[in-house]
A and B are shown apart, each in its own frame.
Chain A
Amino acid sequence: MKRFRWQNIYLALVFLVLYIPIFYLIFYSFSQGHNMNHFSGFTWAHYQELFQDQRMIEIVLDTLLVALLSSLLATIIGLLGALVIHRVKKPMWKNTLLSLNNILMVSPDVIIGASFLIFFTFLGFKLGFGSVLLSHIAFSIPIVVLMVLPKLNEMNTSLVDAARDLGATQPQVFSRVVLPYIAPGIFAGFFMAFTYSLDDFAVTFFVTGNGFETLAVEIYARARQGISLEINALSALMFLFSLVLVAGYYVLNQYNSSKKGRKRRMEANHNR
């Protein structure tokens, strides 16, 4: 029993360390001062400042737009990619495709950023919204593939046979059996792609040029100039936004898997 207490203290410490910086930021977003050293009275001033910051609001909207568009397109291409890889039966080809797919997953951001920068420059592609969007689509595709592929592999081939047996044409098999089956994977892939895009700094930093900025790039620019509690206010809002997203995802996932959960429970009962 005593050992158990030590473990909990350790875990509590880890959680504290993980969350202190975040709450530290949020805490000072309500401070009247101008730095993060002394809390000098409560105020909403930094939030007001943030909401009047036309440039910041534009950047937030741009960031969300890039995230939404890139994750949508990445989901479509990634889904097609997963279908391609799933179709390939020769192990050698399959492994080659998978390795190529994963290159962008394991490459450091700087390499992706630098090589995309060379690529766009080589093609004479103008840096800006377009190059950022294309880059975000590009680095989000592999995660979508990795989310969808296990679902495809897990799907019993006899389901497809059964659908054909019952008279379904190839497109009907896809829309009525395969798509509903792998939907949770597609959904997870979309979600991951969305967060990848929101989270990215390094790649965007390389390929954004001068005209276009995302939130991460803007925060970097401001943070290099020192502390501004407007950024604290922004972090508090972003933290809230993440919480909502995670909660939403969690709830939807629960809903999706509730059928399976029931099944597992049934099996457990059955085995007893």
Chain B
Amino acid sequence: MKRAHGFYSVPYVLWLALFVIAPLVLIVYQSFFNISGQFTFDNYKLYLSSGTYLRMTLNSVWYALLITALTLLISYPTAYWLSQTKHKQLWLLLIILPTWINLLLKAYAFIGIFSQGGSVNRFLQFFGFGAHQLLFTNTSFILVAAYIEIPFMILPIFNAIDELKPSLLNASKDLGATNWQTFSKVVFPLTLDGVKAGVQAVFIPSLSLFMLTRLIGGNKVITLGTAIEEHFLVTQNWGMGSTIGVVLIIAMIAIMFLTGERKKRGR
């Protein structure tokens, strides 16, 4: 029994060691080497002392916050009202369906939609606003990122709302709460875990969507993800790229800690 146990766990344990632990260790390790392969703390020194890197990081976090807030604002009511529809599972499937279209195709669609002669501009012109440079702006990056992330925010919130027992809502009303009080005192607190899961699912990718910044945001290095891609695949400075990677990992852990903390206490 013991031997059989050991035997079948080999592939999974190997995967854990080679593809989970080793790469993490390696990226930290790499962050201590400069472009010519010497051990150094310079990457971290540069990162912490140069305004560009810090500003870029703050920018990235700020954009991710905006994207997350925007998606949440759109998604919560959607999830809430979706859960009250008749064929909610079917509607939910329709919400999820766009995530099946490759992200790059969606980004590509927006290149057309936002372009100078594209439909949004024609729409604006029709109302007398005149054409605007939409593509390759930070705004377009935020809008497209939010568009892509919406389903990932709706899904956990929908699930949380769907799990609510109807008797709780009835109890709340029975005890004299208005619709709004029921929502703010019962529904929202009980679906907070879904919101947190959604924030987690949106915020972290928003820090790292480098292809969107390349295609939509005008090729500027405005997120941590773009910076990493730039260092690894363009300037070949893996050490600095890894340093930014470590920063991103720390940001990720911080976010998971912030959004996960309560859940653990609740359990």
Bound Cα distance A122, B249 (Å): 21
Q: Is the CB of B97 within 8 A of A242?
A: yes
User: Residues of B contacting A97 with CB < 8 Å?
Assistant: 16
Given known A37-B117, A107-B252, contact A100–B16 (CB-CB < 8 A): yes
Most buried by B among A109, A238, A250: A109
Q: Is the CB of A15 within 8 A of B9?
A: no
Given known A22-B98, A24-B109, A81-B15, contact A114–B242 (CB-CB < 8 A): yes
Asked if A160 is an interface residue, CB under 8 A from chain B, the answer is no
Q: Is the CB of A202 within 8 A of B78?
A: no
Of A48-56, A177-185, A218-226, which binds chain B? Answer: A218-226
B3 shortest CB reach to chain A, Å:
12
Bound Cα distance A231, B105 (Å): 8
Q: Mark B167-184 against chain A: 1 for CB-CB distance below 8 A, else 0.
A: 000000000000000000
Asked if B36 is an interface residue, CB under 8 A from chain A, the answer is no
Q: Mark B190-227 against chain A: 1 for CB-CB distance below 8 A, else 0.
A: 00000000001000110110110011000000001100
Q: Is the CB of A22 within 8 A of B101?
A: yes
Q: Mark A202-240 against chain B: 1 for CB-CB distance below 8 A, else 0.
A: 100110000000011001100110110001001100110
Q: Which of A78, A80, A216 is in CB contact (< 8 Å) with B9?
A: A80
Q: Which of A114, A118, A201 is in CB contact (< 8 Å) with B104?
A: A201
B115 shortest CB reach to chain A, Å:
7
Asked if A198 is an interface residue, CB under 8 A from chain B, the answer is yes
Q: Mark A99-129 against chain B: 1 for CB-CB distance below 8 A, else 0.
A: 0110110111111101111110010000000
Most buried by B among A114, A195, A202: A114
User: Residues of A contacting B8 with CB < 8 Å?
Assistant: 80, 83-84
Q: Is the CB of B13 within 8 A of A119?
A: no
Bound Cα distance A17, B144 (Å): 11
User: Residues of B contacting A220 with CB < 8 Å?
Assistant: 104, 211, 215
A261 shortest CB reach to chain B, Å:
12
How many residues on the B side are at the interface (Cβ–Cβ under 8 A)? 79
Of A6-14, A149-157, A262-270, which binds chain B? Answer: A6-14
Q: Is the CB of A170 within 8 A of B4?
A: yes
Given known A103-B20, A117-B232, contact A109–B102 (CB-CB < 8 A): no
B104 shortest CB reach to chain A, Å:
5
Given known A22-B106, A245-B100, contact A114–B245 (CB-CB < 8 A): yes
Bound Cα distance A97, B233 (Å): 33
Given known A76-B11, A201-B102, A219-B105, contact A110–B78 (CB-CB < 8 A): no
User: Residues of B contacting A242 with CB < 8 Å?
Assistant: 97, 100-101
Asked if A77 is an interface residue, CB under 8 A from chain B, the answer is yes
Bound Cα distance A221, B98 (Å): 22
User: Residues of B contacting A138 with CB < 8 Å?
Assistant: 15, 19
Asked if A41 is an interface residue, CB under 8 A from chain B, the answer is no
User: Residues of A contacting B112 with CB < 8 Å?
Assistant: 24-25, 28, 35-37, 227
Asked if B94 is an interface residue, CB under 8 A from chain A, the answer is yes
Bound Cα distance A106, B152 (Å): 13
Bound Cα distance A246, B204 (Å): 27
User: Residues of A contacting B248 with CB < 8 Å?
Assistant: 108, 110-111
Bound Cα distance A103, B253 (Å): 10
Asked if A92 is an interface residue, CB under 8 A from chain B, the answer is no
Q: Is the CB of B208 within 8 A of A111?
A: yes
Q: Is the CB of A223 within 8 A of B118?
A: no
A78 shortest CB reach to chain B, Å:
8
Q: Is the CB of A35 within 8 A of B16?
A: no
Residues in A1-34 with C-beta less than 8 Å from chain B: 7-8, 10-11, 14-15, 17-19, 21-22, 24-25, 28
Q: Is the CB of A115 within 8 A of B26?
A: yes
Given known A18-B95, A199-B103, A242-B100, contact A110–B12 (CB-CB < 8 A): no
Can you list 7 A-B contacts (CB < 8 A)? A18-B98, A36-B118, A80-B11, A106-B256, A112-B23, A199-B99, A202-B208
The interface of chain B, by Cβ under 8 A from chain A, is: 1, 4-5, 8-9, 11-13, 15-16, 18-24, 26-27, 30, 74, 77-78, 81-82, 84-85, 91, 93-95, 97-113, 115, 117-119, 122, 147, 150-151, 200, 204-205, 207-208, 210-211, 214-215, 224-225, 228-229, 232-233, 238, 241-242, 245, 248-249, 252, 256
The interface of chain A, by Cβ under 8 A from chain B, is: 7-8, 10-11, 14-15, 17-19, 21-22, 24-25, 28, 35-38, 76-78, 80-81, 83-84, 87, 97, 100-101, 103-104, 106-112, 114-119, 122, 134, 138, 141, 170, 195, 198-199, 201-202, 205-206, 215-216, 219-220, 223-224, 226-227, 231, 234-235, 238-239, 242-243, 245-246, 250
